[in-house]
């Protein structure tokens, strides 16, 4: 059995080999934590975006989309708090000259205690077999208790230091825990200091010098600054939402785990504007809705969990993450935040404009409260890849690598294959393709044996293979092969369209989320 680490390496290699993800500017040895999506990756990514966009703007009459610019007036970031507070705590090792996030070093130390506990548990399970009582073992085993106490004490000290923004204490924890630099192996650490994650550039040039501007670190602010524009021109009534998909940039210090933490990435964010006092009700609503959206894809309900935030940002009154079980543990894919009226109030203050909503039912004006749902496209992509990648042992010893992608997201929906390159079979295969190609992304493949062609499609997650043989010329039927079961059916050519539509139509997933109502945020 491959370890989780080995599996993850294989997924990364698979992404490259099959045209999903390439390192950016690879011929120049790449650029740290920046990636390009290849011919299959871009299709999968576009399908993820479509699934999200339609679930917001088609399912909800009261959610509209925008596409704001990446460059924004620099005061935006002063108002939002990013100039002063969008920081990570940094520490350098003087010997290796390597830079680390102090919080990450400590979190890794916490994870080490957890791993030690897990090792003890696994060992005991092997020893005791079926009669093993894990809960009892955790409560009574001396070594487990000791590791657990150390882990809890460290966690408590670390949370307190982060909450108090106490950089000296973070350094002291690193020293007390005897954390060493993985490169030099020494404890020769500098002090911890704050590092702002925003990329800066300059715009224009005037006699007084160019204007310093930032690449946006989140798309949300483009929505807030357009609140009045959209509300007035769209005659939107509260509650309503504004959705946006776009690039965001962060100068991440610790950029690791492939597309999980990138310096240039993409977000899908929706800000839902509500009456003050009603925000927690809507927070619960969106929390539930978003989890259903994830689960409807069928990657396995047990792979998701909520992680409620203990430490809230100063402007939030509730926050939770939706985490997915990656090969490197449960990790945040999406954040749902109750952001109060902080952002709109700040923009009103810094711009001097009145940013309020007149509520005709209450006959009063107020600054709306906001529930935000924020998901990274690239993390979603990674979760889908990790949840779909499988190596299956076949009879005869062969291994089949298959991506069991949710059909709605698969880059290619069907591949049409003439059994041989003659006797009129390619012509019929092309005819079938011409009938399908305007509604579905389909491929044509006539090279190599049918078995090899199936494997190529399995590796990119194509749900259907359609084989045209000599009988097809007479009976108007083809062989339809299903990716996941490898079963084959003889079906009529005229039925193909409906079979593929039913399996790949997002509408079927939306019904799983909201039933037949297809609308669930109207009051």
Interface residues with ligand GAP (CB under 6 A)? 218, 220, 250, 252, 261-262, 265, 267, 269, 332-335, 372, 374-376, 378-379
Ramachandran sector of residue 491 (left: φ over 0; alpha: ψ -120 to 50; beta: rest): beta
Q: How far is the CB of 265 from ligand GAP (least distance, A)?
A: 4
Helix (H) or strand (E) segment spanning residue 88: strand 87-92
CA angle 351, 245, 343 (to 5 degrees): 30
Q: Which is nearer to ligand GAP, 263 or 413 (CB)?
A: 263
H/E stretch holding 506 reads: helix 506-514
Nearest residue (CB) to ligand GAP, 306 versus 358: 306
Cis amide leading into 239 (omega within 30) = yes
Number of Cβ within a 10 Å radius of residue 263: 19
3-class DSSP state for residue 83? Answer: helix
Closer residue to ligand GAP in complex, CB, 43/334? 334
Closest CB 302 distance from ligand GAP, rounded Å: 20
When the beta carbons of 367 and 374 are compared against ligand GAP, the nearer one is 374
Q: Minimal distance in Å, beta carbon 126 to ligand GAP?
A: 37
Tell me how far, at minimum, the Cβ of 382 lies from ligand GAP, in Å: 9
Q: Which two tokens stand for residue 139?
A: 């409560």
Please, which residue, 220 or 238, has the CB nearer to ligand GAP?
220
Q: How far is the CB of 337 from ligand GAP (least distance, A)?
A: 6
Pairing of strands 87-92, 264-274: unpaired
| Pick 172 or 257: Cβ nearer ligand GAP | 257
Beta carbon of residue 199, minimum distance to ligand GAP (angstroms, whole number) = 12
Q: Which residue's CB is nearer to ligand GAP, number 371 or number 496?
A: 371
State which residue, 41 or 407, has the beta carbon closest to ligand GAP: 41
For residue 117, give Cα distances in angstroms to 6, 151, 162, 178, 326.
22, 10, 25, 19, 20
Angle at the Cα of 8 from the Cα atoms of 13 and 147, rounded to 5 degrees: 155
Q: How far is the CB of 194 from ligand GAP (least distance, A)?
A: 17
When the beta carbons of 253 and 460 are compared against ligand GAP, the nearer one is 253
- Looking up tokens 């939706």, which residue turns up? 322
Q: What is the largest CA-CA distance in the chain?
A: 81
- Cβ neighbours of 400 (radius 10 Å): 14
Please, what is the minimum distance in Å from the beta carbon of residue 260 to ligand GAP?
6
Nearer to ligand GAP, 43 or 266 (CB): 266
DSSP state of 447: S
**Shortest distance, position 176 Cβ to ligand GAP, whole Å:** 29
506: closest CA among 58, 17, 197?
A: 58
Nearest-angstrom CA–CA distance, 60 and 226 = 20
Residue 188's CB is within 10 A of a number of other CB atoms, namely 12
DSSP per residue, 350-397: HH-----EEETTTTEEEPPEEEEEEEEHHHHHHHHHHHHEEEEEPTTS
Q: Give me the residue label for tokens 């669930």.
A: 520
Residue 163 CB, nearest distance to ligand GAP (Å)? 18
Helices (H), 58-101: 75-80, 82-85
Q: Which residue's C-beta sits nearest to ligand GAP?
A: 376
């Amino acid at each position: 059995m491959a370890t989780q680490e080995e599996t993850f390496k294989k997924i990364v290699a698979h992404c490259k080999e099959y045209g999903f993800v390439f390192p950016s500017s690879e011929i120049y040895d790449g650029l740290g934590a920046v990636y390009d999506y290849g011919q299959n990756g871009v299709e999968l990514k576009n399908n993820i975006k479509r699934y999200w966009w339609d679930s917001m703007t088609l399912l909800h009459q009261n959610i509209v989309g925008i596409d704001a610019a990446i460059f924004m007036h620099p005061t935006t970031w002063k108002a939002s708090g990013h100039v002063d507070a969008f920081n990570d705590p940094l520490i350098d090792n003087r010997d290796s000259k390597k830079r680390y996030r102090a919080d990450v070093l400590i979190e890794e130390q916490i994870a080490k205690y957890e791993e030690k506990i897990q090792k003890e548990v696994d060992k005991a399970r092997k020893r005791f077999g079926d009669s093993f009582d894990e809960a009892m073992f955790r409560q009574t085993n001396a070594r487990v208790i000791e590791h657990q106490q150390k882990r809890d004490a460290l966690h408590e000290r670390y949370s307190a230091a982060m909450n108090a923004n106490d950089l000296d204490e973070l350094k002291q924890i690193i020293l007390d825990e005897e954390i060493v630099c993985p490169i030099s192996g020494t404890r020769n650490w500098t002090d911890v200091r704050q590092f702002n994650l925003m990329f800066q550039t300059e715009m224009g040039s005037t006699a007084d010098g160019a204007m310093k501007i930032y690449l946006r670190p989140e798309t949300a602010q483009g929505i807030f600054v357009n609140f009045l524009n959209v509300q007035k021109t769209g005659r939107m009534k509260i509650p309503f939402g504004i959705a946006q998909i776009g690039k965001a940039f962060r100068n991440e210090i610790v950029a690791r785990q492939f597309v999980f933490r990138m310096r240039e990435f993409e977000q899908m964010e929706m800000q839902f504007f509500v009456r003050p006092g009603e925000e927690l009700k809507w927070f619960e609503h969106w929390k539930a809705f978003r989890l259903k959206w994830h689960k409807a894809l069928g990657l396995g309900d047990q792979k998701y969990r909520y992680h409620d935030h203990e430490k809230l940002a100063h402007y939030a009154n509730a926050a939770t993450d939706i985490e997915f079980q990656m090969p490197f543990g449960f990790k945040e894919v999406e954040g749902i935040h109750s952001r109060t009226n902080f952002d709109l109030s700040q923009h009103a203050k810094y711009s001097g404009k009145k940013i309020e909503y007149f509520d005709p039912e209450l006959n009063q004006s107020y600054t709306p409260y906001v529930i935000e749902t924020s998901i990274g496209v690239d993390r979603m992509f990674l979760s889908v890849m990790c949840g779909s990648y499988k190596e299956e042992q076949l009879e005869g010893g062969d291994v089949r690598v298959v991506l069991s992608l949710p059909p709605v997201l698969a880059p290619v929906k069907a591949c049409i294959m003439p059994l041989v390159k003659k006797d009129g079979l390619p012509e019929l295969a092309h005819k079938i393709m011409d009938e399908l190609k305007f509604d579905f992304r389909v491929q044509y493949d006539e090279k190599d044996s049918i078995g090899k062609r199936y494997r190529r499609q399995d590796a990119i997650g194509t749900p259907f293979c359609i084989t045209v043989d000599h009988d097809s010329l007479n009976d108007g039927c083809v062989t339809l092969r299903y990716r996941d079961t490898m079963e084959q059916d003889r079906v009529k050519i005229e039925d193909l369209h409906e079979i593929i539509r039913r399996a790949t139509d997002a509408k079927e997933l939306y019904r799983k989320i909201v039933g037949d109502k297809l609308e669930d945020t109207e009051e």
